[in-house]
């Protein structure tokens, strides 16, 4: 059986983390949900309380507009982003609204 273990030097790990950071949009470092339970943003059926809690976090987030735009641009199918739930995002997209249009609505 092939050896599936890897070993990296500290330098290689730092290089990887740096490359990862550079590949993310700059606003990622300012998001309010960094220390929140990620499951809140990906509710299962009948977990409206999670959607409500995620939206409350998003309302206070300084990068809400950028997050909403990112979710639209990247066609995120599931999850609450920019204060907009999965169902809402699908509905807005069907209505032809852009992320900016949704943001302007105050959603
Ligand atoms: S808007 Fe919500 S999901 Fe997006 S970064 Fe901010 S807290 Fe996280």
Q: Residue 67 C-alpha to ligand 1 middle, in angstroms?
A: 6
Q: Which of 39, 83, 86 to mutate to test the pocket of ligand 1 (most atoms within 8 A of CB)?
A: 83
Quickly list DSSP for the chain.
---------HHHHHHHHHHHHHHS-GGGGG-GGGGS-GGGGS--TT-HHHHHHHHHHHHT-TTHHHHHHHHHHTT--SS-BTTB-HHHHHHHHHTT--HHHHHHHT-
Q: Residue 29 C-alpha to ligand 1 middle, in angstroms?
A: 11
In a domain, 51, yes or no: yes
User: What pLDDT score was predicted for residue 105?
Assistant: 85
In a domain, 54, yes or no: yes
Q: CA 36, CA 96: separation in Å to the nearest integer?
A: 31
In a domain, 47, yes or no: yes
Residues 22-79: tens digit of each pLDDT:
777 888 888 999 889 999 999 988 899 999 999 999 999 999 999 999 999 999 989 9
**Ligand 1 surroundings by CB, under 6 angstroms:** 31-33, 41, 57-58, 61, 63-64, 67, 81-83
In a domain, 15, yes or no: no
User: What pLDDT score was predicted for residue 18?
Assistant: 76
Global pTM value? 0.78
Residues 85-97: tens digit of each pLDDT:
999 999 999 999 9
């Amino acid at each position: 059986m092939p050896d599936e273990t890897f070993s990296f030097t500290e330098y290689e790990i730092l290089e990887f983390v740096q490359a990862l950071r550079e590949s993310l949009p700059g606003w990622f470092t300012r998001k309010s949900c960094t220390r929140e339970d990620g499951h809140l943003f990906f509710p299962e059926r009948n977990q409206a309380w999670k959607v409500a809690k995620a939206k409350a976090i998003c309302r206070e987030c300084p990068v809400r507009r950028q997050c909403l735009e990112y979710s639209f641009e990247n066609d995120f199918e599931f999850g609450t982003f920019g204060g907009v739930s999965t169902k809402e995002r699908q509905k807005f997209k069907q209505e032809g609204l852009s992320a900016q249009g949704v943001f302007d609505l105050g959603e």
